[in-house]
Structure formats: C-alpha cells, structure tokens
Amino acid sequence: MLDLSPNNPVHVLNRSTFGCFRAIGVARANALFAKWLIAICALVVLGLFLPWTQNIRARGTLTSLSPDQRPQTIHAIIPGRVEEWFVQEGQFVQKGDTILRLSEVKPEYFDPQLLERTQQQITAKELTGRSYEEKVHALDAQIDALNAGLRIKLEQAQNKIMQARLKLQSDSIRVVAATTEIKVADDQYERGEQQFKEGLISKVELERRQVAQQRANATLIDARNKLLDARNELLNAQLEVNGIRNDYRDKLSKAESEKFASMSQMYTTEGEVSKMQVDLANYTVRAGNYFVTAPQQGYITKAVVTGLGETVKEGDPLVSVMPTSASLAVELYVRPMDMPLITKGQKVRFMFDGWPSIVFSGWPNSSYGTFGGEVVAIDNFISPNGRYRILVGPDKADDAWPTALRVGGGAVGFALMSDVPIWYELWRQINGFPPDLYTEALTATNEKKDKK
C-alpha cells in the first residue's frame, strides 16, 4: 500500500521477526562508498596542485649536424654506360675507392687516341703561331731597316739641297759679276764710239770694244742660264725630299700592314691554341670521370643503377653512400603557434624509436629511457609541411645518446617549458593557449629571489 491516507496507516514492520532480514543484517555499502568517493575527490583536488612541466611535443627524424656527414647520392657527372662494378651493397669504402666504371656513349668521344691527337693539333697550332711571331719579328727588322734607309736618304737629299743652295748663291754672284762686266763693256763701247768720231782711236779698237761688249752679253746670258739651272736643281732637290718621304712612307705602310696582319693571325692562332687546350683539359677531366669514386669513407647503402650495360644520363643517381662518422642530431618540426617559444640552447628530451622508455611528459625527471638534447638551429622559413624545422643536438651535460642510433631513425621530442600546477595545465589545454615560455618563468623566479 502507498500509505497515502491517514485513516489507513501502514504498520512498521519489525525486521527482527523475519529470518531473511536477520541473515542479511544492516547494509553499510552506502557509507563506505561515500567515504571512498570523498577520499578520491580529495586526492584529485590535491593532485591538481601537483607541479607539471609544460612541454611542446614534436616528432622528427635523426640526421647529422654537418651536411657532409649525411647520406649522399653519387650522381653521374657524364653520360655513359655501366661497364663494371667494383663494390656491392653494404661494403665499406675509403675515400677515392673506385665504385664503378662507365664507358663513352657520345660519338665525338669514341676515338681512343683523342687526347694524343688533340695534343698534336695543339702542337701544330703552336708552331703556326711561332711562325707568325717570327714573321712579325722579320717585319719589325724590315721596318727598322726602312726607317734607317729613310734617314740616310733624307740626309743625302738635305746635302743635295745644301749644294744646290750654294751653287745658286755662286751663280747669283756670277750673274751680278756678268751684269757689272756688261755695264763696263757698254760704257767702254759708248766712249769708243765718241772717241772714234773724234779720231782719237782707230776702227780696230772700236771693233775690239764691240767684241768685248758682245762677249760680256754672252757671259751674262750664260750666268743667268746657270742661275736658272741652279734654282731648278734646288727645287728638284726639295721635291726629291718629298718623293723620298712618300716612297718610304708607302714601303713602311705596306710593311706595317703585313706586320699587323701577321700579328692578327698570330693572336687568332693563340686563341685557337687556348681553346684547344681547354678542350684537351675537358677531355682529360672527362676521361677521369669514367671511373666513379667514393667522395668519403662510408658504406654503400643502395645501388640505384643495377646490372651492366645500362645507360645513364648526366646527373642520374648511381649509388648512395652513408658516411661512417656523423654528429647526430634530431630534426623536429613544430607548429607555427609553438615556434616563438623555441629558443636556441633550449633543453629537449627525446624518446628514440626502438629504444625502450617509460615517459611521463609532465615529469621528465621521472621518465626512464629518455635522452637530453639542446636546440642548436632554428629555421627562419616555414617548411612545405606547414611547420618550422629545428635541429636539436645532444646535451653534453646529460647522458650520451645510444651508439646504435642511425641516421633516418624516428624520435619524439619534448621541448621543456615552465613548471606549473596540473590545474593550470588542464585549463590551458582546454582553452588552447600555448605553453608558458621557460625563459619568462625563470626570469620571474630570479626576480622574486632578488626581491627577497
């Protein structure tokens, strides 16, 4: 009954009168459960105030700090055909050891005596250049001889001019003397005619004076003719100087033209020799590239080209080599939101693939099997995967990394931040806030110590 009416009350049962109630007894589970629930809630509340180390978790791979210690692929410098292998995968090689041999595939390099014949062509061109050089020296000597001949000819011409001037001066004096003589003869003849009329001299004397007058006229005419000849000789001597200069200028111009033509051919030959020497050097280097050698000591990890007779192009990968010694580092990629919190020298804890570990991300000191690291490099540009790359090297103040680690292995990194209560970390995670910067927390702690 529901015991709803006060007129019909339900009597309270006496539990002691029933055997089943006496067997069960009084249940205390409710009180025990309440105590346990209160204890668990108290522990949870106390646990919220426990310290928690904030961290940024990122996954990465093992690499090397030095680029020359990372796995590298050897490429074909020249196109060719694989003729012979000298190594096998997994084999250890020293620097300079021959890995494989290639043969030529281009027709212009098929000649087995290409280097010797190219050297012969260079020698022939060099001899041709020397011939042109000797020709230039001969032309220089010819030009010097022409210049010397020009000087001699000009001196001779100057001497002739001087002689012509002296002769012109002498003939001029002779003309003056002949003019004076004919004037005297004319005066004597005129006086003779007057004296003949007066009867003072004879007809013979007058005729003798007339003959003297005519002889003086002839002498004057001859002197004038010689003076004209002397003037003509002076003009001819002066013109001869110009003729000599023009003649030798023509000869010198022709010799210099031949000289410059020979020099041009000599320089052209020298250029051809230089080009052929470059070709010879290229042929020599190309011949050395037929044998592919190891750039450094390491292990042959993978042969990209297999078999014999396979043709490869210039720049095609042939084989990959892993250096023996490597300064290991971990390449991590962090989110852009966490990037401002990463600083150079920041501590990082690692959990390597294949290495047993027990990790408590909030209590790094309680973790087992983790190793310490230190940020050594941070990229300033985002990677194609949308994250920033950082390089973390071993922490020298922590335990050494396992020697069994190899480049390319995986690792999980925990970049350590500040220590906060667990309730604060839960509140941060729920709100999606970034972790507190370790350097800021450390600075705040130092400021508190200074104030005290």
Same domain, 178 and 158: yes
Is residue 32, in this structure, part of any structural domain at all? no
At residue 235, what is the residue type? L
Say how far apart CA 74 and CA 322 lie, in whole Å. 11
Span 207-217, average pLDDT? 78
Is residue 135, in this structure, part of any structural domain at all? yes
- Per cent of the chain over pLDDT 90 is 14
pLDDT digits (tens, 9 = 90+) for 294-314: 988 888 988 888 888 889 999
Same domain, 246 and 390: no
Span 129-141, average pLDDT? 91
In 3-state terms, what secondary structure has residue 342?
Answer: coil
368: DSSP letter = B
Domain that holds residue 59: 52-69+326-451
Is residue 317, in this structure, part of any structural domain at all? yes
Question: Is the per-residue pLDDT at 198 higher than 60?
Answer: yes
Is residue 208, in this structure, part of any structural domain at all? yes
Same domain, 271 and 133: yes
Question: Is the per-residue pLDDT at 445 higher than 50?
Answer: no
Q: Among 265, 288, 311, where does a domain finish?
A: 288
pLDDT digits (tens, 9 = 90+) for 346-393: 888 887 887 776 655 555 555 566 788 888 888 888 888 888 888 888
Is residue 27, in this structure, part of any structural domain at all? no
Same domain, 345 and 363: yes
Is residue 78, in this structure, part of any structural domain at all? yes
- CATH value at residue 197: 1.10.287.620
Same domain, 245 and 333: no
Say how far apart CA 451 and CA 279 lie, in whole Å. 78
Same domain, 258 and 383: no
At residue 401, what is the residue type? W
pLDDT of residue 373: 86
Same domain, 123 and 76: no
- CATH value at residue 330: 2.40.30.170
Same domain, 257 and 303: no
Question: Is the per-residue pLDDT at 331 higher than 70?
Answer: yes
Q: Among 288, 307, 335, where does a domain finish?
A: 288
**Domain count along the chain:** 3
pLDDT of residue 274: 92
39-53, 70-84, 239-253, 313-327: range with lowest mean pLDDT: 39-53
Same domain, 247 and 309: no
Q: Among 322, 337, 369, where does a domain finish?
A: 322
Same domain, 216 and 295: no
Two tokens, residue 111: 């000649």
Is residue 202, in this structure, part of any structural domain at all? yes
Name, in order, each residue with C-beta under 8 angstroms of 71's C-beta and a sequence gap of 6 or more.
301, 320, 321, 322, 323, 407, 408
Name, in order, each residue with C-beta under 8 angstroms of 362's C-beta and a sequence gap of 6 or more.
52, 53, 54, 55, 422, 425
Is residue 47, in this structure, part of any structural domain at all? no
Beta bridge partners of 330: 62, 392
pLDDT of residue 439: 44
Same domain, 57 and 164: no
- CATH value at residue 312: 2.40.50.100
Span 92-109, average pLDDT? 90
Span 105-125, average pLDDT? 89
Give the C-alpha distances (Å, rounded to integers) separating 15 from 3, 20, 24, 410.
Answer: 19, 9, 11, 70
In 3-state terms, what secondary structure has residue 293?
Answer: strand
Say how far apart CA 145 and CA 151 lie, in whole Å. 10
Give 441's pLDDT tier (boundaries 50, 70, 90): very low
Say how far apart CA 228 and CA 220 lie, in whole Å. 12
Question: Is the per-residue pLDDT at 30 higher than 70?
Answer: no
What pTM was computed for the model? 0.56
Same domain, 167 and 252: yes
**Token pair 């310490």 in the structure block, residue:** 372
**Most confidently modeled range among 22-26, 343-347, 373-377:** 373-377
**Token pair 């600083």 in the structure block, residue:** 343
